[in-house]
Structure 1
Amino acid sequence: MRQSQLFTKTRKEAPSDEVSKNAQLLIRAGFIHKEMAGVYDYLPLGLRVINNLRKIIGEEMQSIGSQEVSLSTLQDPEIWKATDRWDDEKVDVWFKTKLKNDTELGLGCTHEEPMVKMMKDHVNSYRDLPRYTHQFQTKFRNELRAKSGIMRGREFFMKDMYSFNKTQEDLDEFYEKVIVAYKNVYNRAGIGDKTYLTFASGGMFSKFSHEFQTICDAGEDHIYIDKEKNMAVNDEVMQDQILQNLGLIRENLVEAKSIEVGNIFKYGTRYTSELGLVFKDEDGSEKTVVLGAYGIGLGRLMGTIVELLSDDKGIIWPKEVSPFTVHLVRLGENSTVVSAADNLYADLIKRG
């Protein structure tokens, strides 16, 4: 791309209604445009960054056997009622709308239920498992307070992956592969040295879930890090018995502010049992598929990179994330210089 063809402009001052550094810098640099609170447009430079993150994440998900799909944003209430997640008293972030015939629909805030429903058409036997699917999709969440720039919006771009296994042991094995793949993502995105696998509550589904937390002063979370063991816990599990079970000593933990840049869950048979995703095992018995879910918000990851790696001169993009690898500057209008610059530009384009 020639800079002269780029329609976006830079700004000297940040918008008065933006307090987060990531939004201030990205708007000033012409990477994003603000529509309203919690809703941003990605301009050419910003979209190139998002696409680079998508490429990194997609490669790492494919490396562990996941296949990319794209499910509908419009959601049928019936499958969500089956899992008790349609009621606004239970899940309070739904955007809901109606068709002209008064049929109620929702805009997807996550995709466990529709992904499970889809797999019912493709999983019947133990021979059909395991299966892993992921998608990159715009999600909608009716947040009471959208804040922190592109790190917490009402409309955002997300990678969500789902694993379908025969047994809990199979899920546990795949889960460890996901941890490695996620660490690869953050290393390639330039924030791996500041990002920790963090133990969090598993709720009713499992003993623990895990978050990937990046140490950053702009973070809203607080985690407690054991730097020698390269692991952390969040507030939910900062209890003496749990620390003992994890082999951690409270006095060795250092508190830090952080941003959650990913999360992974072992759901077990939650969702699959309610929606009837079953298979026939080798012995002929019917068993319920075991589910895992794994998320990364691309806008949140992009915003975290800006918060963490920018300085007083602007944004410092890691090589694999940067919108461009080379900025070729031509000095003067001398025909020889112009010709040399054009030839070099053409050669760089040819080399990709």
Structure 2
Amino acid sequence: FSTLKTRPKISDNISTSILLQGSYIRQAMAGAYEFLPMGYRVLKNIENIIREEMDLAGYHEMLFSILTPKELWETTDRWEIPEYFKVPGWGTTEYRIAPTAEENVTNIFKEYIQSYKDLPTCVYQIQKKFRNEKRAKSGLLRGREFVMKDAYSFHADIKDFEEFYKGVIKAYNTIFDRLGIAKDTVMADADGGAISDKNSHEFQTFLPIGEDVIVMDSSGYCYNLELASGIADEKNISEKEEKLEIIDSVAEIVTMEKMADYFKAPLWKMLKTVVYKTDSGKYFSIILRGDLDVNELKVEKFIRKKFSEGFKQATEEDLQTLGTVRGFVTPLKNSNLKIINFADESLKSAKNYFGGANSLAKSSKNVNISDLDILEFGDFNEPIEGFTSRNIPNEKLVFKRASEVGNIFHLGNKYTKPFGITYLDENNKTVDNVEMGCYGIGVSRLMGVMAEYFMTENGIAWPENVAPYTHYIIVIGEENIEKAEKLAKELESEGKTVILDDRMGKKFGFGQKASDCELWGIPNRIVISPKTLDAGGYELTKRGQESEIIKF
């Protein structure tokens, strides 16, 4: 498994190219990688650190089936999730290739949880998972096949769960500390997604190429952008409100950028209105500043609480039915649109907007809140640079890109209830509410994050406890191989791991061997050559330190 002279380019990050050049991995297809010996050693070292901390915390390791019956997923109404693979069996039988194991573990513990004495309990596994990602990208950072540590806990009540949850956070912090990424890893509030109907906590490592954005302030506020909130920066708030005007424009200005260009005004001065249709046929809109995006996760939580139903964006036909047109929708008070209008708080940060007038090539100028038919204000935006904290007056929010390395969830009784888990309490009475949590670390993803975090110009400077080997012996001269083999055995007897590079010939000089050592991130390089023997021993170079001669 020799290294490559150049770095293949199959991903949008440099570290994936280094992993390919170093023959750590090979791509089987988009989103699926094979781990070659060097990469597999790194993966197993990461895995073992995680396993040690899980065992130390008292969790029990087991292994679930990857191929799971349809009935389990129908029990929790999760069979029709498009990101989760289905596979056909004989006849009409269908199975799921497990993307996660909440259904498996809950079905098992239905048998083993009978008494309050059986709680709390926690099990974990380290196993491959499969998810039908629409766009697998960034090498190991987002795959369709990946290795994951997933743990699951069961509790008699919420108090017990909350205490246990603190212990998981402590264990995770220890793991990331041992892996050398703790100083740039934070715990952020995030959405529970398809796994939980409650918010979750993500462990995020700051990386310039990170696919997530973490929003923070000095109070300890730390949220994934998907849930983050802030106060919009004030724009022309000191201006006098001008009188509303309906003006002619052009049909092409159907985006905020085209509007801003046409009216020769900043993007924030455009009025954005996005119309949605609920499952029952009600129409509502979100109105916000033109330089901001609607956060549909916030809208979903708001609408489900308000109307107890889902929604989707209105079509052009829907807008025509309402008496308006795409690109020119603005719920002015005299427009008589049958739309329930909710305004984002950002509208209060500016005045005299440009908007539409509900007809093609008709626009509105000097639109203010008093001109709009608004039922209620709320926080519906995705904050941007310039927003201030809600916790610290006048402090600007900090935005940093990051990659997720772990995720922990409170599941409540989302799974235990449908599976009918009950237990007898101290008074021999049946309790039908069992609290549950789940805790994940993407092991192969973590390897990708660490590769990006520790990469250098010439390789990956893995921490010593993660590097594929602790020592790399370079032998110059066939007559010195026996000395190198003896030294390797001595180091191995001390618990070290050694790769002995005894390749000979013009193609495998010192430069090639030293280059491979650095590419593989092996922290201790030993050279045995006629020159070092003349000096009385071998040359040892520890990463970041000067070389020294060690006597045999």
TM-score normalised per structure 1: 0.90
SS of corresponding position for 2:458: coil
Tell which structure's C-alpha radius of gyration is larger.
2
Match for 2:189 among 174, 199, 208?
199
The code of the aligned residue for 1:291 comes to M
Could you tell me which of 27, 30, 50 is aligned with 1:57? 50
Residue type of the alignment partner of 1:140: F
SS state of the match for residue 475, structure 2?
coil
Choose which of 468, 477, 486 in structure 2 pairs with 1:323: 468
CA distance 1:149–1:249, change in 2 (3 Å) = farther
Identity of aligned residues (%): 40
What residue is the counterpart of 1:14 in the other structure? 7
Q: Distance in 2 between matches of 1:45 and 1:305?
A: 15
> Shift in Å at residue 228 of structure 1?
7.1
| 280, 286, 301: which one aligns with 2:446 | 301
Shift in Å at residue 93 of structure 1?
A: 1.2
State the secondary structure of the residue aligned to 1:237.
coil
1:214 corresponds to? 205
Higher helix share: 1
CA distance in 2, matches of 1:201, 1:246: 20
Q: Which residue of 2 aligns with 1:5?
A: none
Residue of structure 1 aligned with 2:72, choices 79, 104, 108:
79
Partner of 1:131: 121
1:66 and 2:59 correspond: yes
Instruction: Give the deviation of 1:112 after TM superposition.
Output: 0.4
- Alignment-derived partner of residue 187 in structure 1: 177
Structure 2 residue aligned with 1:4? none
Aligned to 1:158: 148
Write the distance in 1 (CA, Å) between the matches of 2:106 and 2:389.
33
- Please say if residues 116 and 271 of structure 1, whose CA atoms lie closer than 8 Å, have aligned partners that are also in contact: yes
Supply the distance in 2 between the matched residues of 1:214 and 1:16 (Cα, whole angstroms): 24
Report SS of the residue matched to 1:315.
coil
> Which residue in 2 is equivalent to 1:266?
410
Cα distance, 1:100–1:209 mapped onto 2, change above 3 Å: same
Q: Is the 8 A contact 2:389 2:396 kept in 1?
A: no
d(CA) in 1 for partners of 2:16, 2:26: 9
Aligned amino acid, residue 97 of structure 2: L
**Post-superposition shift, 1:269?**
0.8
Deviation (angstroms), 1:261 = 0.7
- Change in Cα spacing, 1:284 to 1:120, as seen in structure 2 (3 Å) is same
Distance (Å, rounded) in 1 between the aligned partners of 2:394 and 2:118: 45
Higher RCO (C-alpha under 8 Å, 6+ residues apart): 1
> Please, which runs of 5 or more residues in structure 2 have no aligned partner?
232-378, 380-387, 496-552
**Shift in Å at residue 62 of structure 1?**
1.4
Q: CA separation in 1, counterparts of 2:390 and 2:436?
A: 24
Are the counterparts in 2 of residues 240 and 250 from structure 1 also a CA contact under 8 Å? no
Distance across 1 between alignment mates of 2:12 and 2:444 = 17
Q: CA deviation at 1:248?
A: 5.9
Q: Deviation of residue 101 (structure 1)?
A: 4.0
Higher alpha-carbon deviation: 127-136 or 100-109:
100-109
> Residue 190 of structure 1: CA displacement?
1.3
Match of 1:109 in 2: 99
Which amino acid in 1 is paired with 2:424?
Answer: K
2:482 to 321, 339, 349: 339
| CA-CA distance at 1:350 after TM superposition | 2.0
Does 2:427 correspond to 1:283?
Answer: yes
Q: Is the 8 A contact 1:22 1:150 kept in 2?
A: no
| Cα offset, 1:252, TM superposition | 5.2
CA distance in 2, matches of 1:107, 1:315: 33
Q: Determine the C-alpha separation between the residues in 2 that align with 1:23 and 1:166.
A: 45
Q: Deviations over 1:220-251 (max 9, x none)?
A: 1111234674x621123322599x99956672
Q: Deviations over 1:97-148 (max 9, x none)?
A: 1223441111001100111101112111001111100000110111111101
Q: How big is each residue's C-alpha offset from its partner over 1:57-88, in whole Å with a ceiling of 9 and x where there is no partner?
A: 0111112211000000001111111111001x
Query: Is 1:143 matched with 2:133?
Result: yes
Residue-by-residue CA offset, 1:178-209 (whole Å, 9 max, x unaligned): 11111111111111111001112357957641
Q: Return the letter of the residue paired with 1:271.
A: Y
TM-score, length-normalised on structure 2? 0.58
Q: Answer yes or no: is the 8 Å Cα contact 1:189–1:321 preserved in 2.
A: yes
Deviation at 1:14, TM superposition (A): 2.6
Please tell me the residue identity of whatever aligns with 1:348: L
